[in-house]
Amino acid sequence: MKRISAGQGAARYTLYLPVRFHQLALPIDMRQLAGNLSAKLGVDVAATQGEGWEQLRIGPFDSEAGAKEAFLKSTRYLATLCVDRLYPLFFHMEQQPLDQSGAEVLIDGDGRRIDAFAFLYMPCIVPEHQNVWDSGAFVGQWHPQMTDEQLADTLGKAAAIAEPLQGRLAVAIQTYIAAAAIPFWTAQYVGFVTCLEALCEEEPLPSAQLQALSDIGEAIESAKLREMGGAHAAMVDSVIMHIKKQRTISIQNQIKNLVKSHEISIAEHLGSSHPWSKNLAAGAKKMYYIRSRIVHDGTWGIPDEDVSQAREFAIAVVKGVLLDKLANIAP
């Protein structure tokens, strides 16, 4: 651990904004990025020159509110850069609050009380006039170096099958690899579930359900709701069109059936200690529900514990299904 701030003087705040380059992307000149951000924000911006993981230091500001405003503007500037230039620059869009738990009873080497700890791998605002220390959390490569044993073990499991990887399997594998490179759990989670969507085969609805849909459509038509005009006519057309298109089971049920077909491999990767391990079909339903909340609501909207469990479950499911398919095991 090391001290970050001076811990004295007038109140002032510095925004720490870490960014990470994709391993295969040519890095941006951080001095140029800092200079351009400084011009946009109207405040000093300094940058560390690292090897893929850099730190932008923005400020200082006279108030914490000023630093927060700069964070919001900076994330929008960086997002615009990534979208406009199709550039894979990773940065978190939420601030990490300082950790003040137990800090007031800790004393540094100079005999001064420590006010808070900061985790510099996440965006945070550091009050320079307080005694703030780095949390000391080790930030290494997102993907640690594989050992010889791990390489030999995995390649030893690979099936020697001389067949091309194509179609749905190729799309799923490419999506999986892209998701694995993302350092953000939310986006990574959506990517893993998308892999499963790519692997699903369309399955027709049972004949009884198809007949029920047909009967419902005829009942709506016979009600002569179109004659009411306006919104009624438009909604009748919309509902009838939806009924006519409803010929296959939902993607959620397709994923559930895919999980059933690969239960043995998924259970092996998931382990018996996971709370969803006793009912993989129910777990698949939860997994897709959480994915839908992210994509459609823009938020998890569920407890953090469920988020963590869902991510672990998704990783086990995708691994199990893809490894089975690579070895031509199960459909």
CB distance 43 to 70 below 8 Å? yes
Residue 140 has pLDDT above 60, yes or no: no
**d(C-alpha 271, C-alpha 277), whole Å:** 7
Residue 193 or residue 187, greater confidence: 193
The pLDDT, as a whole number, for residue 37 is 93
CB distance 47 to 30 below 8 Å? yes
Residue from 253, 184, 246 nearest 217 by CA = 246
The pLDDT, as a whole number, for residue 141 is 47
CB distance 131 to 115 below 8 Å? yes
Residue 161 has pLDDT above 80, yes or no: yes
Question: Which amino acid does the sequence have at 108?
Answer: D
Read off the pLDDT of residues 289-312 as tens digits, 9 standing for 90 and up. 888 888 887 765 667 777 888 989
CB distance 43 to 59 below 8 Å? yes
CA distances from 109 to 3, 82, 131, 328 (A): 10, 43, 12, 61
| Helix, strand, or coil (residue 164) | coil
Residue from 163, 165, 161, 191 nearest 176 by CA = 191
Read off the pLDDT of residues 12-34 as tens digits, 9 standing for 90 and up. 999 999 998 887 777 888 899 99
